[in-house]
Amino acid sequence: GIETGIRLLDTMTGGFQKSDFIIIAGRPSMGKTAFALDIALHTAIDKKIPVGFFSLEMSQEQLVQRMLGMEAKVDLAKLRTGFLSDEEWAKLTAAAGKLSEAELYIDDSARLTHLELRAKARRLKSRVDVGIIFVDYLQLLDATAKADTRQQEVAIISRSLKALSKELNIPIVALSQLSRAHKTRADQKPILSDLRESGAIEQDADVVIFIYRKLESPDPKERNTAEIIIRKQRNGPIGTVLASFVEKYATFKNKPPDALTEGENP
C-alpha cells in the first residue's frame, strides 16, 4: 500500500491500498489539506510514485508555496512575506529542486464536475501511470446529473469516485467537510454521521479517517497534538493514532513511540 509516513497509521492500514476510496475528513483548520499534502509529498518525493492532486479550493501557486514550506521546513508566514535568512533560502532552493523532479501533477480547475475529474484521472493513469489521486475537496465537485437534493448530488459524486478507484486500481483520497452536528455534543470528536450529506460517503468509502485537534485549548502542546481517527476500515482495525502537528510548517510528524492510544478491533 501507499504509506502516509505516519508509522502507526501505516501499521493499522497497511498503507492506502489499490482500488480503495479513502475519505479524510475534519472541520476547518484541523489540517486536512496539510495531511493530504504530506502524503502526496512523501509519495512523490521519497517513494518516487506519480501523484495526482485535484485542488478545487486552493490555486496551484498557493499549493506549491505550501509544499515548498513543508518540504524545506521553513515557516509559512515568513515564506509569504519573503523575509528569509540565507539558510532558509538554501533550504527552499533544495526543496524546490526536489519538487521539480517529483512527479506531482496538480490540477486547480475550479468547478470541476466528477466526470471531468474522471476523464483527467484516466489520462494521468495512461500518460504517467499515476499511483494515487487526491481530491480537495469532495463537496466542491459538481454532479452533472440533476439531483433533487444535495444528499443525492453528493451520493453521485462519492459513487463516481469509488468507481474510479476500482477502474484505475489505485487509491483515491478525497477530503471532506463535516456537518455542524458535533457542536451539540459534549464529545467534539467527529463520528461517521458528521460527514456532511453523509449517508453515501460513509457507505462508499473503504476507509474513513478523521483529523481532530483541540484548537480551543490554551495549551499549545494539546492544540498541536493531532488525533488521526480511523472510524471505518473495510479490511482492518479501527482506532486512533496520535501525531504531532507542526503549525509553522503546516505538517504532521510521528510522535515518539507508544503514541497509539486506543486501537479497537471491529
Active site residues: 57
- Taking each helix axis from N to C end, the angle separating 86-101 and 60-72, rounded to the nearest 10 degrees, works out to 120
| Distance from the first to the final alpha carbon of the chain | 21
Residue type, 169: N
Whole-angstrom distance, CA of residue 76 vs CA of residue 67: 10
- Strand 21-25 and strand 239-246: the pairing is unpaired
Cell of 152: 443525492
Count Cβ atoms below 10 Å from residue 73 Cβ, excluding itself: 14
DSSP 59: -
Please state, in angstroms and as integers, the Cα–Cα distance from residue 140 to each residue in 19, 109, 193, 196, 252, following that order: 22, 11, 19, 12, 25
